[in-house]
Structure 1
Amino acid sequence: MGSVFRRFCCCCCVADDGDDDEKQPLVPPDPLEYFNQEVQKRRDEETNLWSEPGDRSHSERPDDRVLYSLLQARNKTRMGSTGYRRLSVDIEAMRDTRREVRDKWKIILENLGFIAEADSLLGVSAGASLDGMRNAPAARELLHTLHTETSLFYSREPPPERYLLILDRLLYLDVAEDFLAKAKRFYPPKEDSDEEAPGLAINLPLLLARVEALNGRATEDDEESERDD
């Protein structure tokens, strides 16, 4: 009788252990690594200010494609080489221009009273979608007006679509027209002779050609550096 009782208890214990295992929550293999990846992704988005943030391939717009190609080319180039330094100059020139455009928007927003909220209003993540916009037609019309009737943007190419999402927020807050009026006053259109020559007056086809050339020369640079060493 005692042996039967012991077998019964053992079976119960095994069954109970199995139930406990099934009830255990699923835990990611490495939560810290996932968190670090997300932080890095957000940092990259803020650094590069992709013109089309929802395009994860960064290949739909010519300027995004150029910047992405430059970054990829630099990743494959030996740090400290001539090619690496040249690529870094071009990358920072494009990033600086994007930051300058964003800074203009921030100045206007702060002038409208959004001093604490400006950065949040200008934040656009890769998960943002134009499909979720509340008033896409009005936002697109406003963006076209800002592009043609102000000097908020440097490039003659279509303005970055990330700003459609920002304008949609301003429309929701009922301050889009005020923003447009300030933009016309602070940044009136410039004559061709008065155009500044910041980063994105960069010749995009020329940059792409340079990326290809540097990719071809990366090995040569490394070999030359090794001989110098």
Structure 2
Amino acid sequence: MGSAFWKFCMQCCCCCCATDEEDEDEKQPLVPQDPLEYFNREVQKRRDEETNLWSEPGDPSHSERQDDRVLYTLLQARNKTRMGSSGYRRLSVDIEAMRDTRREVRDKWKTILENLGFMAEADSLLTVSAGASHDRMRNAPAARAMLHTLHSETSVFNSKEPPPERYLFILDRLLYLDIGEDFLAKAKRFYPPKEDSDEEIPGLAINLPLLLARVESMNGRGQKDDSGSEKEDENFD
């Protein structure tokens, strides 16, 4: 198990380096960039990726899936809202609710991996960067079939919507390590399908269309100062 994992890590490392070099060749600046500024920007990008756990990691516009589009719109709206205002606080609550839902799914996957013995490697196996590409997958059809099985025959995901694409890349890694079937068996055991009555607890489900409509309504009216914040709260309640 250990040698296969390190082999996987070395290949990933080489692929990432090659991609970075290709990108640099295509976007070579006329004036050399500040190395520190570039490093800080890359660190921030990776931190944002892990914080938001984008469902479509390879989509830089965050618009291909509705849940990614809603979260991105919320983040952009908060950036334009005065910190400390009621609108800012409400947006923060919605953002954290979406992030918590995504973290809950990731935690389930981590629990299964750790139970399989990947205590130290779980976080690395679950990390998917924006550079993830379907072209580099080793066994995409099998990974896709397994993702469908996990979605339909377990409760590792919190929604009936199509499962996040990021987990397709993770399953491809697990298949390469020859632990895909073991992972699926553990998932069925730890997280069996829920009964219809247990699908979602009222009040905890995230209504994506409603969130998006609220943000668009806020943007349409423009950001208000404190004098209008109370009326804004009443409209959203």
- Bucket of the pairwise TM-score, normalised by the shorter protein: 0.7 to 0.9
Residue 29 of structure 1 aligns with an amino acid whose one-letter code is Q
Q: Which among 138, 141, 146 is matched to residue 145 of structure 2?
A: 141
* Equivalent in the alignment of 1:126: 130
Q: Which among 25, 32, 38 is matched to residue 28 of structure 1?
A: 32
- Post-superposition shift, 1:220? 2.4
* Equivalent in the alignment of 1:90: 94
* Equivalent in the alignment of 2:166: 162
Q: Hey, what's the Cα distance between the residues in 1 that align with 2:211 and 2:40?
A: 32
Gaps spanning 5+ residues in structure 2: where?
1-29, 230-237
- Post-superposition shift, 1:200? 7.7
Q: Does 1:104 align with 2:108?
A: yes
Residue 66 of structure 2 aligns with an amino acid whose one-letter code is P
* Equivalent in the alignment of 2:13: none
Q: Which among 165, 175, 182 is matched to residue 171 of structure 1?
A: 175
Q: Does 1:151 align with 2:155?
A: yes
Tell me if structure 2 keeps the 8 A contact 1:54–1:129: yes
Which segments of structure 1 move beyond 6 Å, counting only runs of 4 or more? none
Q: Does 1:80 align with 2:84?
A: yes
Q: Hey, what's the Cα distance between the residues in 1 that align with 2:122 and 2:202?
A: 24
Q: Which among 209, 212, 221 is matched to residue 216 of structure 2?
A: 212
Tell me if structure 2 keeps the 8 A contact 1:62–1:204: yes
Query: CA-to-partner distance for each residue in 1:118-148, whole Å, 9 max, x for gaps?
Result: 0000000001111110000000000000000
Residue 45 of structure 1 aligns with an amino acid whose one-letter code is E
Q: Hey, what's the Cα distance between the residues in 1 that align with 2:203 and 2:113?
A: 24
Q: Any residues of structure 2 matched to 1:31-42 within 5 Å, and which? A: 31-42=35-46
Query: CA-to-partner distance for each residue in 1:1-58, whole Å, 9 max, x for gaps?
Result: xxxxxxxxxxxxxxxxxxxxxxxxx983311111100000000000000000000000
Q: Hey, what's the Cα distance between the residues in 2 that align with 1:206 and 1:88?
A: 16
Tell me if structure 2 keeps the 8 A contact 1:78–1:218: no
Tell me if structure 2 keeps the 8 A contact 1:108–1:183: yes
- Post-superposition shift, 1:198? 8.8
- Post-superposition shift, 1:223? 4.8
Residue 43 of structure 1 aligns with an amino acid whose one-letter code is R
TM-score (norm 1): 0.83
- Post-superposition shift, 1:212? 1.0
Q: Hey, what's the Cα distance between the residues in 2 that align with 1:28 and 1:222?
A: 44
Q: Hey, what's the Cα distance between the residues in 2 that align with 1:199 and 1:166?
A: 31
- Post-superposition shift, 1:203? 1.1
Tell me if structure 2 keeps the 8 A contact 1:83–1:218: no
Aligned residues between the structures: 200
Gaps spanning 5+ residues in structure 1: where?
1-25
Q: Which among 184, 187, 190 is matched to residue 186 of structure 1?
A: 190
Residue 128 of structure 1 aligns with an amino acid whose one-letter code is A
Matched position secondary structure for 2:224 = helix
What is the Cα-based RMSD across aligned positions, in Å? 1.8
- Post-superposition shift, 1:197? 3.6
